[in-house]
Structure 1
């Protein structure tokens, strides 16, 4: 979609480029029919209360709960996807609200199970874990037993689950404010023409070679956030307080410890990441200085950090070209992988273009019984192509897990969720670099590669440090008001990007636009995932079949093992700083290449 094209209503757009949700539910009426049957199925589950005393009863409950969870997941996913199509639509908001309420009700109703199982004497419970009847659920029970010290009594768990919808309200407030209510002033380019500014096209405008447009869009965008900064701060403070309160009730040392315990990740992995990135800050300062030099600027501002280093290269791609680029990129992963990507394109797993009211950004979402759907907002840039490759990595990870694991072990953890997506991105950029040797085009591609590192390792680690400090402030009883949050974010931007970057006043409001902050301690996984992906993609291109085999085995493991163990199977050990250090050494080599290429221009 060209920069100047005004967003259209969804109904005005070609359905060929919209996802096909009919394999999930024929229509909304079919969804309603399945929702109507949910209550009686929930009653069957709650009838297990008070009976979970032996292996047979526990096995029966876990089988029934798994089956119920599949249906609930289908209902929730469909409603979420439909809502993303147009967040302004009242019908979609109502449907999503209904299934969210049902989800919370269901979680509250079955919250008796884990406490009831864990209330058994430890010797009895360990015997049940080893019972042959439990073979298909053994890892689930072993993982449950590990969390026994932090599981509350049945009434307490039910009470906490009942508050689930209320505790999720801050995220809903922030989402609705950003996606539906926040309106930005038009931006102006150097020719005096006006451009619409939206959450979907903001980064694209920041990537424009027109500095007047970048500066105007930057001012417009953060003016919108500044006008609502008190609401955003209240919403985020509410989300942080909800997390810290639950951690305290569950007897964790901190909200961070609680978030990481679910995946059995030791806190030192988080701290080691931040320490490693700090060790490699000089490389980022060097990159910022290179940007300033190439762009020929006396001052480098925040609205310059996405500007193309080679403005005369104006590369735009059609969606059809993007499809072929992704297929070429993943060819090293084998014909079976390529075949599945072709199927995703052919069967309309992807919602391609932005439309009015559509959720911004991109994601992959699906269930054990559905296709893994992809939402994107394709604008024809190389970044848009990379986004398709990224989300396709998520979707193929989901597909392979679903088709190699039973439903109780199909869902992989968030810790490994960004690995497959980033492997695809890296394969794309490496494949393009092999083809494009002309200096200007090569520098353009190296810029994209450097931006991937900047955005996924440096920035996400900066976000992780922001989260660590914000939650620690709340746990110390300090106020998370706009002044405190703005000051914290501004300091971190200065530390991560160095003295060459001019910090405009608007920079301090950027934290308010980061939706992942409402999923506590998630963003660090982008950085660890990217570091892992660098190791895996390098191995795939260097070793070929042995590395591809290990990688596909990893993609097929779902949630059948702890994530650190799954990554070790693939050949990466994140309990050491080595993968992060190696990734940032790769960043430095790309930077070297960019400097050599610049000398050839």
Structure 2
């Protein structure tokens, strides 16, 4: 157990437990050489400016663009991965800073490409593709650019908007600085009776405390501070929404929601249907709140009781090799090919497994078209770490398939699709763990884990999405919003979503003001749709529906070769219908049935 308690230096970690970044560049000197070459080669891209209305030049530009972009990408990836290994290493900090600065310069060499494509005669691209088979591969790329033509402004207007982009984005920066640096919440009493300063960072541990007095005090202390600044915070949020709505209006979109969804060809009904479907099924959430109230033995269920675990089990110490075995068994329904990629990834050095001093926290999957799909972990021998490994390897195998099957320009995938592969892995793993668990308490714990995941990822995020729609449409229609308006809407949403067994404490009315995602307009609904799509995939795979695995793998191989709705539809998941969200709610009800049978 000492291994999980003593934080080692980077060079004390066994090589077999580190990712193989040396497969990108064998040495830092090789990286420096490649960086020098890139700086010499990249300016050649500028030489095509004003000359793209010639098919041969267009082909040459695209060839050079791919070559230089791929080189820039591996240089960027190497420096960032090395820096994340030990954020205190000044050498790698310097390398990362150099490439970060250069990437802004690199972007200027290609900035003319999209405007020139949009200025071309209407049929130029179509005719060029007919005459030059080499351009055929770029057809989707060109069509994607051209469909935005009605929303692109004149060159001078675009330059003007670009020049004030920092100002337009300032509400998000102000909110972040204000809530993370300037706001002070004071002290609260922890479980040991000691006074501790409350921060946004440690609030999550207090709100999960088994001691009700601790979590109540933390809840009231935190929101008291937000309440004191509610008018300022309301003004910041309104400014952000007005800026977004302004952008949608001048670009001639039908509205704010249209401007967010249309670039990825996502129909507006996907957003609206998700909210309607969740509203039609809020009785399931009400049932969960009533069950949680009963399991916690409470006469009254308050908002600060929401995050406390209802079932306690001793923590298991799970070695990494055992975690891999658990995941391989859980993902068995995906078939031999998928499992072999997973096992080879572990063996070949995709993963940086353990914590070390200075290592970046958290977990991610990342890499480039010409690198491994690397995974950063901070493995701490707990069940949650097993789930994180399954999640991140879901992303990495998605990237592996996309890069293997797609050309460079289509190897990336949208956020709308990104969480599907990772969440499908988690869904298959938890399903397997629940089914094989024989200990009643551990089984209840696992069931509740999945219930909480659906509550926070689907119900809560769609409540956020509903709030966003109200705020944007109100301001869009010229209805001003004050802190009082935001508070009223938030209280009503919480009452509606949590139902009669929840006492919606007045302090919660200002919770909207602490959610940074509201500064990334119409972003959060994608967590819910991603989870719903993953649930639909997992169900069809577990039910052994015809060609379910083949369709799912085809989705993983699609990358960004089409719009996300079309990619998912082709794989058998139609997000324009209510079925995927309904499948998630069916699973939620199934889990509630399991708990009620056990208690």
Normalised by the shorter chain, which TM-score bucket?
Answer: 0.7 to 0.9
Please give the residue correspondences for 1:202-217 in structure 2 after superposition, counting only pairs within 5 Å: 203=204, 206-215=207-216
Q: CA deviation at 1:581?
A: 1.8
> Comparing 8-17 with 251-260, which one deviates more in the overlay?
8-17
Structure-2 residue corresponding to 1:68: 68
Structure-2 residue corresponding to 1:449: 450
The 3 A distance-change label for structure 1 pair 596 and 270 is: same
Asked if residue 55 in structure 1 is aligned to residue 55 in structure 2, the reply is yes
> Comparing 552-561 with 510-519, which one deviates more in the overlay?
510-519
Alpha-carbon distance in 2 for matches of 1:38, 1:181 = 42
Alpha-carbon distance in 2 for matches of 1:206, 1:229 = 22
Structure-2 residue corresponding to 1:532: 533
> Comparing 428-437 with 237-246, which one deviates more in the overlay?
237-246
Structure-1 residue corresponding to 2:460: 459
TM-score normalised by the chain length of structure 1: 0.85
- After superposition, what is the alpha-carbon deviation per residue over 1:503-531, rounded to whole angstroms, capped at 9, x for unaligned? 34553454455444443322211211211
The 3 A distance-change label for structure 1 pair 260 and 228 is: same
CA contact (8 A) 1:108 1:158 kept: no
Structure-1 residue corresponding to 2:383: 382
Structure-2 residue corresponding to 1:415: 416
Q: CA deviation at 1:582?
A: 2.6
Alpha-carbon distance in 2 for matches of 1:501, 1:66 = 55
The 3 A distance-change label for structure 1 pair 108 and 489 is: farther
Alpha-carbon distance in 2 for matches of 1:234, 1:349 = 45
Q: CA deviation at 1:423?
A: 0.6
The 3 A distance-change label for structure 1 pair 237 and 196 is: same
Alpha-carbon distance in 1 for matches of 2:347, 2:206 = 31
CA contact (8 A) 2:353 2:379 kept: yes
> Comparing 177-186 with 212-221, which one deviates more in the overlay?
177-186
The 3 A distance-change label for structure 1 pair 69 and 590 is: same
Structure-2 residue corresponding to 1:112: 112
Structure 2 SS opposite 1:253: coil
Structure-2 residue corresponding to 1:494: 495
Structure 1 SS opposite 2:365: strand
Structure-1 residue corresponding to 2:472: 471
Q: CA RMSD for the aligned pairs? A: 3.9
Structure 1 SS opposite 2:375: strand
- After superposition, what is the alpha-carbon deviation per residue over 1:218-238, rounded to whole angstroms, capped at 9, x for unaligned? 456667867887887676556
CA contact (8 A) 1:50 1:116 kept: yes
Gaps of 5+ in 1: none
Alpha-carbon distance in 2 for matches of 1:230, 1:354 = 42
The 3 A distance-change label for structure 1 pair 485 and 360 is: farther
Structure-1 residue corresponding to 2:154: 153
The 3 A distance-change label for structure 1 pair 466 and 431 is: same
Q: CA deviation at 1:297?
A: 0.9
Please give the residue correspondences for 1:519-598 in structure 2 after superposition, counting only pairs within 5 Å: 519-543=520-544, 546-598=547-599
Structure showing greater radius of gyration is 2
The 3 A distance-change label for structure 1 pair 589 and 315 is: same
Alpha-carbon distance in 1 for matches of 2:362, 2:594 = 30
CA contact (8 A) 2:318 2:383 kept: no
Structure 2 SS opposite 1:418: helix
TM-score normalised by the chain length of structure 2: 0.85
Q: CA deviation at 1:200?
A: 6.5
> Comparing 58-67 with 399-408, which one deviates more in the overlay?
58-67
Gaps of 5+ in 2: none
The 3 A distance-change label for structure 1 pair 365 and 46 is: same
CA contact (8 A) 1:244 1:254 kept: yes
The 3 A distance-change label for structure 1 pair 496 and 91 is: farther
Alpha-carbon distance in 1 for matches of 2:220, 2:345 = 39
Please give the residue correspondences for 1:172-211 in structure 2 after superposition, counting only pairs within 5 Å: 188-192=189-193, 203=204, 206-211=207-212
Q: CA deviation at 1:472?
A: 3.0
The 3 A distance-change label for structure 1 pair 283 and 13 is: farther
CA contact (8 A) 1:88 1:180 kept: no
Structure-1 residue corresponding to 2:305: 304
Q: CA deviation at 1:477?
A: 5.2
Please give the residue correspondences for 1:188-337 in structure 2 after superposition, counting only pairs within 5 Å: 188-192=189-193, 203=204, 206-215=207-216, 218=219, 239-311=240-312, 313-318=313-318, 320=320, 321-337=322-338
Structure-1 residue corresponding to 2:43: 43
The 3 A distance-change label for structure 1 pair 42 and 528 is: same
Alpha-carbon distance in 2 for matches of 1:448, 1:239 = 35
- After superposition, what is the alpha-carbon deviation per residue over 1:419-459, rounded to whole angstroms, capped at 9, x for unaligned? 11111111011101111133322221111121121111111
> Comparing 229-238 with 155-164, which one deviates more in the overlay?
229-238
> Comparing 541-550 with 571-580, which one deviates more in the overlay?
541-550
